[in-house]
Structure 1
Amino acid sequence: MANHLYVRSTRETRSRLHSVLLLSLAAALVLASIVLFLIARNQQSAEIAQADFETALEAEDYDKALEIYREVQANAVQPLQSGQVENPYQKTLAELESLLSGRLEAIENQLFQGQSLADADQAFILGLGELSSLRLSRFVRDLSRSYLMGETEYKILSLAIEQLADLPNLKDSIQPLSNEYASWPDLKPAFIAADQMLLQQQWYEAFAAWSELAQTAGSGTFVQDFARQKLESCKTAMYQPLLDAALDLMDQNRAVTAYGQLQQLQAVFPGDRAVEAAVEECSQQIPRKLVTFRGAIEHLVIKPLIVDPATAFDGDPYAAAAFDTMLTTLEFARVLDALYANGYILVDQTRLMTGAGERFALDLPEGKKPLVLVLEGLNYFATRRETGNCWDLQLDEAGYVCGVWPGPDGDLIIRREAEAIGILDAFVEAHPDFSFDGAKGLITLSGYEGVFGLVTDPDQLDDKNRALAALGYPELVLGPADYEANHTKVMEITRTLQRTGWQIGTSTYGMINLQNASLEQVESDWAKWQAQIEPLTGPVKALSFPNGAVLLADDPRRQFLQSQGIRVFSGLGATPYIVRNDNTVYTDKVQVSGFSLAHPGLYRLERFFEASLVIDQEARSLFNG
């Protein structure tokens, strides 16, 4: 009996479970059907809404179109229903916006081309209320900015504003422009000029220009807001390059210049932590006490150094020139020791003037006397091989500028101490107080036979090979790849020099006697400089008159050179001489050479050093002239 009751109970339980499962399945099917129905209905409703919207637009029933758009927009942001993968109204909304965008773009194109809008277009704009007003307001503002930047004609801007300003849905946003834009032609040149300054990375000039425009009284809200936007863009663009440049100057031991630049930057970005930290660090590197120097600013000039006295003084036709016009490497090193002991300090020639060409007072460490050092003739003509000089310059593995010359066995020797550049660089490393603000000297180049001993143009190769042949050396055979390689080497050397305190100047392209050259010859010579040398060295501001053949300030040939950017002209003389005239500076340089060492009284060298203590007696004893 018990077993019978247990079996019946189990069967009843299973039966009930089966019924529940069937009912659950049926309910699920019904629910799924409902969901699918709702999804299908939503999809169909969305498609119907799109069709109705298009119909309303075609019928110019913009109230209806706007009603449909708003309804679709509201549905598009509703959460997904159970079982939905995507909201069909979102796709429909995108389609509606595409239709509107196409029509509005066509209207914008008409306005941009200076065309009048048809009544139907104006009705479309008005009928769509905020849908058209937001976009067209933005279009007119963009057009206004474009005009101020010189990219759109005034008549196009004027016609666009006139047609849209009175439409009720655009009046609030465009009417203010209508009241202001008549004054914009007077402001347009200033906007264009400020933008050009920014493009040319004239950072502070651009900052000042945008600041002034942002505060121009009576210019209107739009102009001031636009100028403020450009001002912020300018600040964003200028911040990192100027900060990096100042930090780079600090790395080059040019703390005085860096400090001035950081103070300028701090005025634009007060409270900026990175700038404040750089100012604090830089202030620790500048001399503690500077005094204004008001005396003469001395200039010394030397030619390439003799690194191989045996070759220089071997009795050939070039030995006398080497003996009289050049120093040995030892003599130059002794000159530096004496100058340092006598309180001289190297300064950049650019410190002789401001941007306008005016000389300004030099603030130097107390007790120091300023000195500008000029190196001439580092082109290394073929004849330099006979006067015991280096044959060319190159960078060694450590990145130092080195002289290159053949040893007794014919193998090339590469040494930093073979030329004045490396000797002075090493001296300043050992005696940093010999250089004010990282200054080294001015290197004046020509283009005759090459640059730094490297032929960079076919025009130079002809002269180089004629000179080599006359001396019994094999001629050079160079192709485009060789010229390109030499371009790269010269630019790398130049960048290294400029980063380490050296400046580049010119002695004209062909080392021509400017007093004997016609204006046409001077112009032709300069054209060669600009075509062949300037792309490698950058623009120059200093010219050393070859052989001291000076041109007076009113000479048309000098005025031409001044028009090409030359601001410092220098000749030769035994006494310090500086005169400012017509945005230029003229100076005299004292030659330091074998001849001047032998006749120190003629050059008044005693104010610099004792000549007898400088002369390299061992090397000069080889000369039998």
Structure 2
Amino acid sequence: MNSIHRLRRPLVILLVVILLTGIAAVYVATRIYWRPLVTEAAFETAYAAGDRAGVVDLYQLALEERNQAPEGSERQIQADAVADLVEKTIASEAASRFDKIANGAVLSADDRDFFTIFDTLSTNALLDAFVAYTYKYLSGSYSDEEMRHMLDETLQIDVVYQTYGRVENEHDAMIAARPKIAEAEALMAASSWLDATRKWEQLQNDRSMSHFTLGYIEARAEEARENLLSETIRNVSFLLEQQKYYSARELLNVILPIFPYDAELLNFNVEADAHLPKSFSTWDLPVDHIAVRPLIADAEKAFAGNRYAEANDRFLLLAGEFQAMLKALYDNGYVLVSDDAFITAGGKFKAFSIPEGKKPLVLVFDSFHFAATRSLAGTIDRLVLDGEDGVTGALIGDDGAVQPIKDGDAVSILEAFIRDYPDFSFNGAKATIAVTGQYGLFGYVLNPAQAILKNEQRAMNGMAPVLLNDEQIEAERTDAKAVADRLRLMGYQFASNTYGDLNLPDVTVDAIREDDQLFKAVLGPFLGELRTFSYPGGRHVNTVSEKTSLLVQLGYSRLLAHGTIAYFAYGDGYTHMDMNLAGGDALRNPTATRFDRYFDTSRIIDYAKRP
């Protein structure tokens, strides 16, 4: 009997436990499923009525329901939406109230009540706002008086005081730091990321900085570093695309110590080194310049007995001669460089690095235009995109059809040569193209006045007119812009050869100024800002200070004329450089023209095709 009683007691206890568990489950289920659904409307009603305690209760209910409802259920989703709405609304109002106080309002009793009741919900917004205004003060865009008011009022809020009360004691240190910070901020405003990064690093090591100020400096330093890295990646990538490997490595040498473990920069450095010679030398002498006018692609046409045949023979090269000239220059140790390598933006000469054992050379495509008279010289009629990220010459038939041709122009020939002999171009150097404006750009008409001039020239030479309406001229402008942009990407630079093909020794200063204004108005949108000026016909005014001073005022710091030696002359804000014109005269008279120092001209001139 006793044993039966002993068995019943645990059973009763078990039944009680089961009963209580069931009651608890029913209670929870009742709490979750039988109570009214917490809604956004209920919150909005309580919030609009100013029932702050009611808002807190609704928020607590929403949190409880979000945690207890089955995952993904409608009730959980609804509760989550209500909790999110409450948090965002209270945070927004907290920030708004802080803004008013920071901008001159006094902390009111209602503000105190709001921040007390919604202490948890408003904490992040308050602390973020406090940091934002203190950083605004450090940056110089918030006055000392405003900062003092903000501290006096907002540090009365418990959570702000508990977190940032020390800032009141750091105020004097902040005042002392602001002028130093202003220097760094000026660099940031100018997007001078490298200098800004260095300045912020200097301030990070300044022991006079307070704890809060250091937080601001570190945040701004990181922003500067991020911008510097992004800018460097863009710039180095562009330099490598343009085969400017030396410039890329120079930039990386400056930046890699700041980001020594950045994989992308390290890969860039490997790529640049792979294309550079092992050793360099410093060049501090004048640099040879060779000028080449548009090439004769059709010798039969150029020397057919027209009135330009003699000039064509004297001053122009055949396309094949240009090809042979490039190979001879390469074999004799010349390497193409850009004027940018040794002439500063202010027109001063500077020594520069070149591959060991090489001689620098600047190539200038001079008097670069395709007037109707050039057609009689057997040149191409225009430059066109070649469909392979390059540019080539083209002929225009009597029916207006454009026919691209290979190896008939200096650009496509030079590009082909550099593909075969990439080390002929140092640091991506190609050629400077000196444009004469009145004849259009690269064979394209840019305005009605140029169309009229073109047809006048065609009529003088017995050629049929080319009639272009406004829509067709606009299409020509579009094509000209595309060619200019592509040439720039390929590494070519542009120069002014004047708009009207002026003979500068014979014209007035006012005429030069007016011509340049026209050049920039018509060709500026296509060529951009230019620093190089090529005297038409090579006839310089280096001894006429009034005219050279004007050219400098107009933005030209590199002045190119004709001569037979590597001659440089220096003036206030400019360097005058002579360039040797390659043509029939130069090839036939190598001693007089000093072309014999470049190569054996007898191996270049094509007597079979010349008169």
**What range describes the TM-score normalised by the shorter chain of this pair?**
0.7 to 0.9
Percent identity, please.
24
How far does residue 66 in structure 1 lie from its aligned partner after superposition?
9.9
| 1:417 is the counterpart of 2:410 | no
| 1:190 is the counterpart of 2:179 | no
Maintained 8 Å contact 1:301/1:589? yes
Corresponding residue for residue 139 of structure 1: 129
Distance 1:47 1:409, change over 3 A: closer
How far does residue 192 in structure 1 lie from its aligned partner after superposition?
4.8
How far does residue 302 in structure 1 lie from its aligned partner after superposition?
1.6
How far does residue 212 in structure 1 lie from its aligned partner after superposition?
4.7
Corresponding residue for residue 601 of structure 1: 591
Distance 1:455 1:157, change over 3 A: farther
Separation in 2, partners of 1:379, 1:131: 72
| 1:80 is the counterpart of 2:73 | no
Report SS of the residue matched to 1:603: coil
TM-superposition CA deviations, 1:529-583 (whole Å, max 9, x none): 3333232233322221223343449945544543554332222222211244445
Separation in 2, partners of 1:182, 1:103: 31
Corresponding residue for residue 119 of structure 1: 108
TM-superposition CA deviations, 1:17-40 (whole Å, max 9, x none): xxxxxxxxxx9x999986675347
Report SS of the residue matched to 1:617: coil
Which of 365, 372, 380 pairs up with 1:375?
Answer: 365
Corresponding residue for residue 15 of structure 2: none
Report SS of the residue matched to 2:407: helix
Distance 1:48 1:532, change over 3 A: closer
Corresponding residue for residue 479 of structure 2: 489
Could you tell me which runs of 5 or more consecutive residues in structure 1 were left unpaired when the two chains were aligned. 1-26
| 1:353 is the counterpart of 2:346 | no
Distance 1:261 1:40, change over 3 A: same
Corresponding residue for residue 12 of structure 2: none
Once the two structures are superposed, the pairs formed by residues 460-479 of structure 1 within 5 Å of their partners are 460-479=450-469
Separation in 1, partners of 2:34, 2:400: 95
Separation in 1, partners of 2:392, 2:127: 65
How far does residue 235 in structure 1 lie from its aligned partner after superposition?
3.5
| 1:173 is the counterpart of 2:161 | no
Maintained 8 Å contact 2:314/2:583? yes
Which of 473, 497, 500 pairs up with 1:510?
Answer: 500
Corresponding residue for residue 4 of structure 1: none
How far does residue 371 in structure 1 lie from its aligned partner after superposition?
1.0
How far does residue 300 in structure 1 lie from its aligned partner after superposition?
1.0
Maintained 8 Å contact 1:46/1:72? no
Report SS of the residue matched to 1:271: coil
Report SS of the residue matched to 2:68: coil
Maintained 8 Å contact 1:579/1:586? yes
Distance 1:484 1:290, change over 3 A: same
Letter aligned with residue 187 of structure 2: A
Separation in 1, partners of 2:508, 2:181: 44
RMSD, aligned α-carbons: 4.2
Separation in 2, partners of 1:470, 1:490: 26
Separation in 2, partners of 1:50, 1:390: 78
Corresponding residue for residue 38 of structure 1: 31
Letter aligned with residue 216 of structure 2: F
TM-superposition CA deviations, 1:207-264 (whole Å, max 9, x none): 4455455556645444543343343334434435533543554454433233223333
Distance 1:536 1:82, change over 3 A: closer
Distance 1:323 1:266, change over 3 A: same
Separation in 2, partners of 1:41, 1:555: 97
Could you tell me which runs of 5 or more consecutive residues in structure 2 were left unpaired when the two chains were aligned. 1-19
Separation in 1, partners of 2:253, 2:228: 14
Maintained 8 Å contact 1:56/1:65? no
Distance 1:209 1:511, change over 3 A: farther
Separation in 2, partners of 1:175, 1:518: 72
Maintained 8 Å contact 1:80/1:86? yes
TM-score, normalised to structure 1's length?
Answer: 0.79
Corresponding residue for residue 318 of structure 2: 328
Report SS of the residue matched to 1:591: strand
Separation in 2, partners of 1:471, 1:125: 90
Deviates more, 1:609-618 or 1:39-48: 39-48
How far does residue 454 in structure 1 lie from its aligned partner after superposition?
0.8
Distance 1:507 1:152, change over 3 A: farther
Once the two structures are superposed, the pairs formed by residues 178-577 of structure 1 within 5 Å of their partners are 178-179=171-172, 182-183=175-176, 186=179, 189-190=182-183, 192-198=185-191, 203-212=193-202, 214-215=204-205, 218=208, 220-239=210-229, 242-243=232-233, 245-247=235-237, 249-250=239-240, 252-354=242-344, 357-405=347-395, 413-479=403-469, 481-552=471-542, 555=545, 557-563=547-553, 565-577=555-567
Maintained 8 Å contact 2:365/2:432? yes
Once the two structures are superposed, the pairs formed by residues 143-154 of structure 1 within 5 Å of their partners are 143-146=133-136
TM-score, normalised to structure 2's length?
Answer: 0.81
Separation in 2, partners of 1:523, 1:95: 67
Letter aligned with residue 331 of structure 2: A
Corresponding residue for residue 590 of structure 1: 580
Distance 1:48 1:231, change over 3 A: closer
TM-superposition CA deviations, 1:430-482 (whole Å, max 9, x none): 33333223322211123222110111234533433333343343444445543
Maintained 8 Å contact 1:107/1:117? no
How far does residue 607 in structure 1 lie from its aligned partner after superposition?
1.0
Corresponding residue for residue 9 of structure 2: none
Once the two structures are superposed, the pairs formed by residues 49-88 of structure 1 within 5 Å of their partners are 75=64, 78-80=67-69, 85-86=74-75
Report SS of the residue matched to 2:533: strand
Separation in 1, partners of 2:212, 2:298: 72
Report SS of the residue matched to 1:454: coil
Letter aligned with residue 615 of structure 1: I
Separation in 2, partners of 1:83, 1:302: 76
Maintained 8 Å contact 1:130/1:169? no
